[in-house]
Amino acid sequence: MKITKIIELTDKNFETEVFLAKKFVLVDFWADWCGPCKILSPILEEIANEYSEKVLIGKINIDTNKKIPIEYSIRGIPTLLLFNKNKIIGTKIGVLSKTELKNFLDKKLLD
């Protein structure tokens, strides 16, 4: 079994996991049928390991969780939202390379 540091987010646990987190939370809005989401997934796994002290990575499936994607006006996937406490401090839409994602996180974590 593959060990992952990425947490599964749902409509039910979103507020608890994201808003009460003690560190930054990067939320990936995705779906099983999304090709770009499948490309981004292993990159997120690597980031989850490398940034585990600073950032929690969570994934929320837009097909099985309808409330949260609507609440955040998710129109395309993959969409990444970076939260600090209960505020969005950064957004990225589409596939990013590992370098692009690290640059995005590094810049936002220093702001």
Residues classed as catalytic: 34, 37
The one-letter amino acid code at 11 reads D
Rounded to 10°, the helix 98-110/35-50 angle is 50
Single-letter code of the amino acid located at 12 = K
Q: How many angstroms separate the CA atoms of 5 and 34, rounded?
A: 21
